[in-house]
Amino acid sequence: MKVFDELNPPARLLLGPGPSPVHPRVMRALGAPVLGHLDPELLRLLDDTRGLLRDAFRTGNELTLAVSGTGMAGMESVLGGLLEPGDRLVVCAAGFFGHRMAELASRMDVEVTKVEKGWGEVFTPGEVEAAVAAAKPKAVAIVHAETSTGALQPMDGLGEIAHRHDALLIVDCVTSLGGVPVEIEGWGADAAYSGSQKCLGCPSGMAPVTVSPRAREVMAGRGRPAHSWYLDLDLLERYWGGAHAYHHTISSSLVYALREGLRLVAEEGLEARWGRHRPNAEMLWDGLEAMGLALHVADPALRVPSLTTVRVPDGVDEAQVRGRLRDEYGIEIGAGLGPLKGQVWRIGLMGHGSQKANVILLLAALVDLLKRP
Ligand SMILES: *Cc1c(COP(=O)(O)O)cnc(C)c1O
């Protein structure tokens, strides 16, 4: 039998669209002894975790937990929990993840009305209202921070619009939670999901989810159970909540990591954390523009502080620059997706990765690489 070489992954500075650099305290938490999924101590840690998640999401929603899986599992659990085959859903799509929500809901036989805008644009309340008024959907879904374009969707008024038309508001907060202001209750959002590996600074594998009492009522009135058994939020709530009924063998290690990541968020303070991500992003934007590069989202107020899209200059081999960044500097950044493939680089300053020293290192590396043939 072949004995493979000893595990020795290189230390990368993760400045792409996720995963982001993991805080050393989170790495230590991952190494703590494994506990059974029904151990009273693990159940206590789950309870801490949901409390910390409520604070991070800025909600009092009872149904707040982390699904075992990545951000996509969060998306599937929310869409599959709130919607049944034949239900109508409006999806606002101006990038890769908006289109993904639409595709996923279609697979659940939900009747999807997709409202589309260009990759890098955001929706006005008027556009959302027009779509909701025309389609009369059960829910409207929108991406808060579109990681494929770097555009930040303004959320003011969207909850009211949805509720005025008797619809639920579903928000993708994968790249915003813990780095950019998220106000689930303030927005009137009925369901939101995120991922552990973006601004929460953990490895991937846990997807925070929160569901409002209004949306829970809708869930309770379903004609048939949720489309996925594994991602069924009712069953997951029975495990995380009072009864602690066995549902699946949750990874205690990932729970420790998420709890530690959230403890770091609480210690720093949400406002302070947002107040760190924003100026570090501004420093990056200023630096890139000083180098003569153009940012894909022109209006700074509509840029995601945790994810910047910068245009690849004419005549530059974008994959070669990314490869050299990785091989010579140990830095990972992301490529463009969909229509932005080959057009932009995606630079993440997320969680523990949002630091001035990282901005300077990346800018200096880009200056070096862009002047080479
Ligand atoms: C990363 C991301 C997802 C998907 O998360 P995974 O952890 O890759 O499954 C969904 N939506 C947005 C906006 C994202 O940035």
Per-residue pLDDT of the chain in tens (373 residues, 90 and over written 9): 899 999 999 999 999 999 999 999 999 999 999 999 999 999 999 999 999 999 999 999 999 999 999 999 999 999 999 999 999 999 999 999 999 999 999 999 999 999 999 999 999 999 999 999 999 999 999 999 999 999 999 999 999 999 999 999 999 999 999 999 999 999 999 999 999 999 999 999 999 999 999 999 999 999 999 989 999 999 999 999 988 999 999 999 999 999 999 999 999 999 999 999 999 999 999 999 999 999 999 999 999 999 999 999 999 999 999 999 999 999 999 999 999 999 999 999 999 999 999 999 999 999 999 998 7
Fold (CATH) for 25-266: Aspartate Aminotransferase; domain 2 (3.40.640)
Report the distance separating Cα 208 and Cα 69, nearest Å.
10
> Please, what is the angle between helix 71-82 and helix 96-107, to 10°?
50
CA dist 357 → 26, 175, 256, 335, 363 (Å): 21, 21, 28, 22, 10
Q: Which residues pair with 348 in a beta bridge?
A: 307
- CATH architecture of structural domain 13-17+270-370: Alpha-Beta Complex (3.90)
Report the distance separating Cα 71 and Cα 207, nearest Å.
5
Give the residue range(s) of CATH 3.40.640.10 domains in the chain.
25-266
What would the two tokens of residue 307 be? 């994810």
Using DSSP's 3-state secondary structure scheme, residue 82 falls into helix
- Which ligand 1 atom sits closest to the C-alpha of 207? 7
Report the distance separating Cα 223 and Cα 164, nearest Å.
24
Query: Do the bridges between strand 344-348 and strand 307-311 make them parallel or antiparallel, or are there none, so unpaired?
Result: antiparallel
Considering only CA atoms, give the Rg of the chain: 21
**In the block, residue with structure tokens 């106000």:** 183
Report the distance separating Cα 334 and Cα 189, nearest Å.
30
Taking alpha carbons only, the member of 301, 367, 309, 306 closest to residue 335 is 309
Alpha helices in 252-355 (DSSP H): 252-268, 270-290, 318-329
Residue nearest to atom 2 of ligand 1 (CA): 174
pTM: 0.98
Widest CA span in the chain: 65
3 C-alpha vs ligand 1 centroid, how far in Å?
35
Q: What's the CA dihedral at 96, 177, 306, 104 to 10 degrees?
A: -10
Taking alpha carbons only, the member of 351, 181, 277 closest to residue 285 is 277
What residues flank ligand 1, with Cβ below 6 Å? 18, 70-72, 75, 97, 143, 147, 172, 174-175, 195, 204
174 C-alpha vs ligand 1 centroid, how far in Å?
6
Report the distance separating Cα 5 and Cα 7, nearest Å.
6
Report the distance separating Cα 23 and Cα 202, nearest Å.
7
Give the residue range(s) of CATH 3.90.1150.10 domains in the chain.
13-17+270-370
40 C-alpha vs ligand 1 centroid, how far in Å?
32
